[in-house]
Amino acid sequence: MASAFKCAIFDLDGVVTETARLHSMAWKAMFDEFLRGWYQAKGEPFREFTDEDYLLYVDGKPRYQGVKSFLDSRGVDIPMGDPEDTVDRETCCGLGNRKNVNFQAIIETQGADVFPTSVAFIRELKERGIRVGVASSSKNTVLVLKKAHLEDLFETRVCGLVSAELGLKGKPDPDIFVVAAKQLGFEPVDSMMVEDAISGVTAGFRGKFGFVLGIARHIPAEELAKVGADRVVKDLGEIQVDEVFAWFDAGKNVKA
């Protein structure tokens, strides 16, 4: 009897590659520069952008949405602007573009490390006939895959550039994951999705994916479970492919 498990969609940063750290560095450099000027103009003491800010307001979200989310948390009101805004514009889009320049400079210098256990897990899925795709909010997905030497690992890719072309909503909406699964010919109920961000796990839950696997690298496991992860591990080396097949074959993939 054929398994009900057909497809797996993976987030990239923090799940397959260690680039979440590089993104955080790029965000901090951009926001701290902006905030120094903002607080100085207001006559208020400087409050830096922290790791907690990154995880709460930015991680996993589309770039400009992440800018707005964080600035809203600080009561900073600037125009949204336009994606074509130059990096010197004090708009959400201008700041987002400034962050992107920072990130590209960092990754060109440092490269993109991978989590070997994640790559091994994905390769075993492929060997066992599971179709695999990557879904990421980042418009730098192609660059990251190239720097990590993983261009051929995934059969389909839905990234920030594809989202813009198709008008997809960003996390916590499930659009990018659902589209990736459908590009491989399957529905979410037939599919596993893997995420490390609260916004991403929420997206998997909302999309009614058959198995939502949370990776608790920086977010507490209970927080990922709370927003919809069916199971949470610290690393993909902690779960066997057979366990995912068993989940689907037991009918646990069908969500109310």
What is the residue range of 45's domain? 21-110
170-192 residue pLDDT tens? 999 999 999 999 999 999 999 99
The total number of structural domains that make up the chain: 2
37-51 residue pLDDT tens? 999 999 999 999 999
The span from the CA of 73 to the CA of 50, in Å, is 12
User: Which residues are known to be catalytic?
Assistant: 11, 13
* Tokens 């805004």, located at residue: 85
How far CA 117 is from CA of 219, 234, 236, in Å, comes to 19, 11, 6
> Of the ranges 10-24, 148-162, 165-179, 182-196, which one carries the lowest mean pLDDT score?
10-24
150 found inside a domain: yes
255 found inside a domain: no
Peptide bond before 172: cis, by omega within 30 degrees of 0? yes
1 found inside a domain: no
Flag whether the pTM goes above 0.95. no
The span from the CA of 185 to the CA of 189, in Å, is 12
154-163 residue pLDDT tens? 999 999 999 9
Give the pairing type, strands 231-233 and 156-158: unpaired
2 found inside a domain: no
CB atoms within 10 A of CB 256: 3
